[in-house]
């Protein structure tokens, strides 16, 4: 709490600059380390606005390719019958606003800036398949896993100037580069925007294993097979003696 109080006080110290800039923002941490005991992380994003308006915050990243499969019952057995591969799908997406998005801007503006889970661009090589519900399945499953979030009353604004929100990263958050985008809306249009990076990375022995597996995948595979074989042989010897 003391650290957050200091961060909020620092906003007050930059208020003269905020009088000239439409909006200023900052975040409590820009790097999150993941180790074996990682159970999630909460960051504080805060700032100030020089004129009354609505504040919308989007946190997104990292992008990845994702294949979605549909199971159908064939001859009494459930099998994969269709598969669609989507490109550049955010592994994490969260949006925060001081009130419902439909009260801040129209759908056209929200779609242009990809604000809201429903407005997130989910594209594949087959538009026909995407319209059959594969894209909706991505949004639904990742929302259930806490990786896609909407907090439409998640930004608090005090005295019409100071705003803040808490960003909750779950334990299953993917590693990689993230981007926070802060928008200031007035009369349904964006009048100011700021972008800040966040890095989520592995630390300690987890980082060493992750780097080894990605930079030398062949040797990592051989090492994993040897470890598995040695473990199996050791277990067999223990049970044989008992």
* Tens digit of each residue's pLDDT (9 = 90 or more) over 119-170: 998 877 665 555 567 888 889 999 999 999 999 999 999 998 999 999 999 9
Which pLDDT score is estimated for 165?
A: 97
* pTM across the whole model: 0.73
Where are the domains positioned within the chain?
2-202, 204-242
With beta carbons less than 8 A apart as the criterion, state whether 141 and 9 touch.
Answer: no
Contacts 24+ apart (CB under 8 A), 115-123: 115/56, 115/58, 115/183, 116/150, 117/93, 117/143, 117/148, 117/150, 120/90, 120/93, 120/148, 122/86, 122/89, 123/86, 123/87, 123/88
Selection from 130, 65, 137, 54 nearest residue 97 by Cα? 54
Give the pLDDT mean for 48-57.
95
Residue 212 pLDDT more than 60? Answer: no
CB 26 within 8 A of CB 10: yes
Q: Residue 109: which H helix or E strand, with range? A: helix 107-112
pLDDT at 78 over 90: no
Work out the average pLDDT over 2-12: 49
Residue 13 has a pLDDT of 47
Assign a CATH topology to domain 2-202.
Immunoglobulin-like (2.60.40)
Spatial separation of the C-alpha atoms in residues 69 and 46, rounded to whole Å: 40
* Distance between first and last Cα of the chain: 55
Confidence at residue 14, expressed as pLDDT on a 0 to 100 scale? 45
């Amino acid at each position: 709490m003391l650290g957050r109080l200091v961060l909020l006080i620092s906003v007050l110290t930059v208020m003269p600059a905020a009088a000239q800039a439409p909006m200023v923002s900052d975040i409590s941490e820009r790097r999150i380390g993941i180790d074996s005991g990682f159970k999630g992380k909460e960051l504080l994003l805060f700032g100030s606005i020089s004129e009354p308006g609505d504040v919308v915050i989007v946190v997104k990243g990292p992008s990845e390719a994702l294949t979605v499969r549909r199971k159908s019952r064939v001859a009494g057995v459930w099998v994969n019958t269709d598969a669609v591969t989507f490109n550049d799908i955010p592994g994490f997406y969260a949006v925060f606003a001081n009130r419902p998005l439909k009260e801040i801007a129209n759908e056209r503006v929200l779609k242009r800036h990809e604000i809201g889970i429903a407005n997130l661009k989910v594209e594949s090589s087959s538009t026909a398949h995407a319209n059959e519900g594969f894209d909706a399945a991505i949004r639904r499953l990742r929302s259930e896993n806490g990786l896609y979030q909407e907090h439409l009353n998640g930004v608090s604004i005090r005295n019409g100037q100071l705003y803040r929100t808490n960003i909750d990263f779950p334990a299953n958050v993917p590693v990689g580069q993230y981007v926070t985008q802060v928008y200031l809306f007035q009369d349904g249009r964006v009048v100011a925007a700021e972008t800040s990076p966040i890095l989520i990375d592995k630390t300690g022995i987890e980082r060493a294993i992750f780097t080894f597996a990605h930079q030398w995948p062949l040797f990592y595979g051989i090492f994993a097979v040897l470890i598995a074989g040695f473990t199996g042989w050791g277990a067999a010897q223990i049970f044989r003696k008992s």
